[in-house]
Structure 1
C-alpha cells in the first residue's frame, strides 16, 4: 500500500475471497471464440437519454419508469444472480457479468461460464443491456507497463475489441484496479496511459454503437488520483464509482460506506463528470472481522444474505449505525469476539439522499444475489 494514494483496496479483495478461490474448484472455461457476431443496434447517446428521463414520474405521459440501476453478475453464483436479474429487470439499465480477466497486453481470458448465450439472450429479452466486465489482477507494475507503452496499449485495446465481438454484447466495462497504488514517481505517466487506453477503447466501441463503461475508485483527498475523472467523463458513456470498502478486510472493523464519505466523493465527482454519466456503486456485502486487530483469525467476506443468516443464528440484535447508515452486530465465536459490518436496504435508504443532493440517479450494485430483497423498492423510490 502506498500511503496517501490508496486508503482502501477495491472490490478485488472480495473477489479474491469469494470468487477466485471458488473458481479454482470449477472446470476451466472454454477458449473465447474469435469470430465476430452480429451486434444489437445501440446508440452511445442512449445512456444519457436514459438518465435524462429519470426525473419523469412513473407512468407520466405513458412513459415507463426509468431504469436507474446497473448491477454486476458474479460468475461464481451465475444462475442465482441471473434469476435475480430477471426478477428485477424492470429496474435494471445494464447487467455486467463479471466474465473476463486481462492477463497480458494481448490476452483476455474468460472466467467459468463466460459468454453463456442463454443468459445474454434472457437479459436482452428482459430489456437489460449486457455489458460484461473485464477485470485484472496483474502483478505489480505489469498493467502500468502496458498502459505506458503505446504499442502494448494498442495491442491491449485490440484484445478488448476481440472480446466484445465474441458475443452479442452491448459494450464493455473496464475495471482495472492494480494501478491504484502507483507511486509518486510514475503515477502521472500511468494515469495518462490509462486515459489514453480508455479514450481509444471508447472510440472503437462507439464506432460499433456499443457502450463504454469505466469503473473507478472513489476520488477523495487520499484516493483515486490515478483515474482522470474529467477525461474519462468526456469519453465514457458511464463512469462507475466503487463507493465501498471504506473499511476493508485487512483493516479495522467499521462501516463499508458512510454518508459523509459519499458526500465527499460526489462533491469531487460531479465537479468533473456530468451527473447523468455517473453510477454510484452500492455494496450488498460486508466483512466479518475479529474484534481484536491483534488476533490471528482472518476476516471473512459476507453478503447481506449470509450476514443476516449469521446474525439470526447467533441471536445478535439488529443495529443500524445512524452516523454511517450501516448495519452491524457483534458475536462470540468460541472465545473470540467478532464484529460484522454490512449493508442492507435500510442503510442504503439513508445514503440515497446524498446522491439526490448531487443530482445522481444512477446506481451500480455489487452484486446480484448478494442483496437485501427490500433494496429494490428503495432504489425504485430513488
Structure 2
C-alpha cells in the first residue's frame, strides 16, 4: 500500500508538471500585443486599458520627454497608481521616450546620449517601470550610428529583465537617407527586445501627400518584409497598426472657416461613423488596398468639428481601417512568424474592435468554434478569405441554420462581386433587409431566384437541393453517364435532380449514413463553410476568368 501511494504521488507530480508545461507553452504561443497611450488625461488611462478587454501585454504611456537641450524630463502624466494597477493585472508599463519631432531636441539628446541613457535607466528603476520604448523621430540619417549607440547604452545600463524597444519608421521602399535612413534595423536588433515598426502614415497631413490609405495592406506587408530582409530576427519584429484615419476636403475651396486646409487631417477611427451618420455619407471598402474610405458632404450653412478644426460646407473623404481592414492586417504576423503587433494609439480606436482583435491575431477567430470541431479549419479559412463573417464579432454560430439571405451574401463575396450596385430592386420582402443589395446582385448574376417574382424569403432556410442547384448554376459541372444515383429520395423527376447528381459526382455533396440525400433538409453555417472551402479553387477560377 505504501508503495502504491508513492507511485500515485509520483504520477500526480508528473501530471502536474506536464500540465504546467502545456499551460506555459500555450501562453507563449500567443502573439505579443502592445499599444501607446498618449491621448486623454491620466485619470482616463485605466479605462482606456479596460476597453482592450485583456488584449495587451505592454502599455507604453508618454512618461519620458526629451527637452530642447537634450535632457530627460518625466512628464506630469506619470502616476504610480496606474503603474501598480497594470502590474497587478500582469501588464507591463514601458513608457516611450519622445522628442515629438523636435529635431534640435533629438540631436542634442543623441549628442549627450550617455548621460541621457543613465537618466532614463535611473527613472525606470525609480518608478518601477518595465523598460523604455525609444521614439525619436524626424532626424536625418547622419545620426544613424549615434541613435544605435544610444540604444546600446540603454541596454547596458538597464537591468536585463527590463525591456528596451525602439519605434522605427516603416521603410517598405528601402530608403537610406532622410529620417527613414535614421534607423539601422539590423544593428538596432542586436540590443532591443523588439522593433516597433510604425507601419502607418503611408499618406500624411500635407498638401504633398497623396489621398489614400493610412496603411494599405501592401504598405503594411512590405514594411514587415523589409525588416526581415535587413536581418532582424522575426521574434524581434512588432508591426504597428493605425487606430486613426486621415481626411481630405475634395472641393476647390479647401480651407476651413479658420483658414486651415484639410489635407490629410488625422482623426480618431471612432469619429468616422458619427460624421457619416450626421451627413448621410457612405462607407466603401477598397479591395486592392484592403482599406476603408468614407465619403460625405456637409451642406451649405452647416459645419462640424474634428478637435479644434471646423469642417465647413463641402465634399470630404476619410481613409481609415475598419474591421475588415484590421482583420486583414492581423493575419500577417502569423504568416511571417513575427513577434506580434503594436498600435498608435489607445483612445482612437473603435472599442468593439477589441472583441475580435486578440482572436484574429492568434488565428482563433471565433469563441464558439473549438479547434477540434469538425469544420473549424473550413470556418477559419472562409473567414480569412472574407467569404463568411461571424454572427457577431466573436461568434460564428456553426450550428445555426443557413438562411437564403446569408447564402446569397456568401456567394457574392466569394465571386468578388460585392462592390456592384443592383440595377433594380425586385423583391418586395427584402426592403430594409441587411442583405438586400447582395440578394439583388445575386439575382441579377443568375445565382439565386425568388420564391416568386417579387418575393425572396430572405430568412427562410437554404436547403441542400437549393444549394446544389445554385452551385451547379455557377460552375456547370459535367455529368458522367450512365448516372448511378443511389439516393432513394432523389428521383429523376425532381427539379434539382441533375444538380444533385453533378455535385455528388464531384464529391462536393454527399449523402447521409442511411443512404438518403435529404434534399429539403436545411444546411447549417458550418455545412456552408465546408462546402465553400472545398470549392475554393473553383471560385478562384471563376473570379480570374
Provide TM-score, normalisation by structure 1.
0.75
Cα gap change, 1:164/1:106 in structure 2, threshold over 3 Å: closer, same or farther? farther
Residue 287 (structure 1) aligned with residue 250 (structure 2) = no
Equivalent residue number for residue 212 of structure 1: 164
Cα gap change, 1:146/1:97 in structure 2, threshold over 3 Å: closer, same or farther? closer
2:101–2:137 CA contact under 8 A, matched in 1: no
Q: 1:236 aligns with which of 185, 192, 213?
A: 192
Q: 1:196 aligns with which of 149, 154, 172?
A: 149
Q: 1:61 aligns with which of 13, 16, 22?
A: 22
- Structure-2 separation of matches of 1:366 and 1:336: 29
Residue 296 (structure 1) aligned with residue 249 (structure 2) = no
- Structure-2 separation of matches of 1:115 and 1:291: 41
Cα gap change, 1:106/1:378 in structure 2, threshold over 3 Å: closer, same or farther? closer
RMSD (Å) for aligned C-alpha atoms? 2.4
Q: CA deviation at 1:231?
A: 0.9
- Structure-1 separation of matches of 2:284 and 2:46: 31
Q: Which moved more, 1:75-84 or 1:211-220?
A: 75-84
2:286–2:293 CA contact under 8 A, matched in 1: yes
Q: 1:70 aligns with which of 34, 42, 52?
A: 34
1:89–1:127 CA contact under 8 A, matched in 2: no
Paired residue total:
312
Where do residues 25-104 of structure 1 align in structure 2 (5 Å cutoff)?
A: 61-63=22-24, 65=27, 66=30, 68-88=32-52, 90-104=54-68
Q: CA deviation at 1:177?
A: 0.2
List alignment gaps of at least 5 residues for structure 2.
1-19, 301-312, 362-545
Q: What do residues 267-326 of structure 1 show as CA deviations (whole Å, max 9, x unaligned)?
A: 110122111111110011112221248723433321111112212222222211111122
Q: 1:372 aligns with which of 346, 350, 354?
A: 350
SS in 2 for 1:371: coil
Residue 245 (structure 1) aligned with residue 209 (structure 2) = no
Q: What do residues 156-186 of structure 1 show as CA deviations (whole Å, max 9, x unaligned)?
A: 212322332331100011100021xx2xxxx
Q: CA deviation at 1:381?
A: 2.3
List alignment gaps of at least 5 residues for structure 1.
1-58
Residue 159 (structure 1) aligned with residue 119 (structure 2) = yes
Q: What do residues 63-89 of structure 1 show as CA deviations (whole Å, max 9, x unaligned)?
A: 564362101112434444421313435
Equivalent residue number for residue 408 of structure 2: none
Cα gap change, 1:97/1:371 in structure 2, threshold over 3 Å: closer, same or farther? same
1:105–1:156 CA contact under 8 A, matched in 2: no
- Report which of the two has the higher share of strand: 1
Equivalent residue number for residue 108 of structure 1: 72
1:242–1:282 CA contact under 8 A, matched in 2: yes
Equivalent residue number for residue 83 of structure 2: 120
Equivalent residue number for residue 128 of structure 2: 168
Equivalent residue number for residue 5 of structure 2: none
Cα gap change, 1:75/1:366 in structure 2, threshold over 3 Å: closer, same or farther? same
SS in 1 for 2:346: coil
2:64–2:72 CA contact under 8 A, matched in 1: yes
Q: CA deviation at 1:203?
A: 1.8
Where do residues 326-345 of structure 1 align in structure 2 (5 Å cutoff)?
A: 326-333=291-298, 334=300, 335-345=313-323
Provide TM-score, normalisation by structure 2.
0.54
- Structure-2 separation of matches of 1:142 and 1:98: 16
- Structure-1 separation of matches of 2:266 and 2:275: 12
Equivalent residue number for residue 11 of structure 1: none
Cα gap change, 1:105/1:194 in structure 2, threshold over 3 Å: closer, same or farther? farther
